[in-house]
Amino acid sequence: MIMKTHNIFFVFVLTAISFFLFPLSAARPDEHSARAILDHIDRMWRGKSSTGTYEMTIKTAHWQRSLRIRSWTKGLDYTLVRIEYPKKEKGVASLKVKNNLWNYLPKINRVVKVPSSLMMGSWMGSHFTNDDVVKESTLADDYHHTITFSGSRDGQDVYEITLTPKEEAAVVWGKIVILIQQKDLIPLSEEFFDEQEKPVRKIVLSDVKTIGGRMLPTKLNVIPYDKPGEFTRIIYADLTFDIDIADSFFSLRTLKQKGD
């Protein structure tokens, strides 16, 4: 439950970004179905594969700490993350292959599989859940998406897109509302609601920069509404897309390499 921080960033940025191009479809509805745009955004955000480094800062009522994390991804099914800093957790790593999640603990040299019963548990002590890490690819499949607002809000032209779960989908959220800047289609925020439509947490994306040759928000802040004062913040340091990486890289063997 502690090891999955890395992926989470992707999860959220991905969902956010997957809607990045959505406004295009609104502008040219004849040319793009929402789904096609989502897929396009996925590809654009993620590339075929990627590697990057980010810093995750977690603040809770009792402690605050920062982790530096290296990540590798390929398609939607493979993700590997490894903690580079602090020293106590150096080499701790998470591997996601499809819906499975393993953590590696260098101190005791053991791999632990995260059971499905703990999917709602905290990932790496952050305000992300294990489920956030594993389920990253299913938002587009599991939800209906509609543009619920288009116009000026807080001095910016934005699109508001609301996701509601499909009836048969086994999902965690009752509703997700995403705000996207119209001029460059960069996502600003995502707000998550439970089944009673009560807001649970908000993710704010900011600091748009050119990274890995693309314009992307490089800072992501998770704010849980039920824990005032707490947050998890992720800031990307570097990101490279379309690297040459084999499926076999995402293996328990790689997971156990301590990194250097």
Partner 1 sequence: MLVYLKLAWRNIWRNKRRTLITQFSMIVTLALMIAYSGLVWGLLNQMERNATLLGPGEIQIHVPGYRDDRSIYKVIDRPDTIISSIEKNGARAASRLQGFGLVSHDENSSGAQILGIDPAREKNVTRFHRHLFRGAFLAGANEVIVGSKIAVTLDVTVGDELVVVTQAADGSIGNDIYTVAGILNRIGEEIDRSAIMMSLADFRDLFSMGDVATEIAIRRVHDRQELGELRDVIAGGIPALEVKTWKELFPAISDMIDIADLSIYILFFIVYLAASLITLNTMLMAVYERIRELGIMMAIGFRPLQVMTLIFVETFYLTLCAVGAGLVCGVGLSAYLTRYGLDLTSFSDGFSFAGILAEPHWFAVTNAQTVLPAAVFLVIISFAAVLYPALKAARLKPLEALNFN
Q: Which of 44, 76, 97, 118 binds partner 1 (CB under 8 A)?
A: 118
* Segment lying near partner 1 (by CB under 8 A), choices 109-117, 196-204, 210-218, 236-244: 109-117
Residue 94 CB, nearest approach to partner 1 (Å): 11
Q: Which of 17, 93, 124, 140 binds partner 1 (CB under 8 A)?
A: 124
Could you tell me the maximum CA-CA distance found in the chain, to the nearest angstrom?
57
Q: Which of 23, 47, 52, 125 binds partner 1 (CB under 8 A)?
A: 125
Residue identified by tokens 């929402």 is 34
Residue 128 CB, nearest approach to partner 1 (Å): 13
Residue 140: strand, helix, or coil: helix
Note whether 91 binds partner 1 by CB under 8 A: no
Q: Helices 5-18 and 34-46 meet at what angle, rounded to 10?
A: 140
Q: Which is nearer to partner 1, 71 or 126 (CB)?
A: 126
Cα–Cα distance between 256 and 42 in angstroms, integer?
29
Q: Which of 16, 37, 114, 220 binds partner 1 (CB under 8 A)?
A: 114
Cα–Cα distance between 196 and 202 in angstroms, integer?
16
Q: Which of 13, 81, 89, 241 binds partner 1 (CB under 8 A)?
A: 89
The contact pattern for partner 1, residues 58-87, with x = CB under 8 A and - = no contact, is x-xxxxxx--------------------x-
**Residue pair 49/74 in contact by the 8 Å Cβ criterion:** yes
Residue 86 CB, nearest approach to partner 1 (Å): 8
Cα–Cα distance between 69 and 220 in angstroms, integer?
14
Note whether 108 binds partner 1 by CB under 8 A: yes
Strand partners, 64: 59
Residue 202 corresponds to which tokens in the numbers above? 């908000």
SS3 content of the chain, % helix, strand, coil (to 5): 20, 45, 35
* Segment lying near partner 1 (by CB under 8 A), choices 106-114, 157-165, 179-187, 191-199: 106-114
Q: Which of 2, 11, 16, 140 binds partner 1 (CB under 8 A)?
A: 2
Q: Which amino acid is at 144?
A: H
φ, ψ for residue 30, nearest 5 deg? -70, -30
Residue 58 corresponds to which tokens in the numbers above? 């977690």
Q: Which residues bind partner 1 (CB under 8 A)?
A: 1-3, 58, 60-65, 86, 88-89, 92, 103, 105, 107-108, 110, 112-115, 117-118, 121-122, 124-125
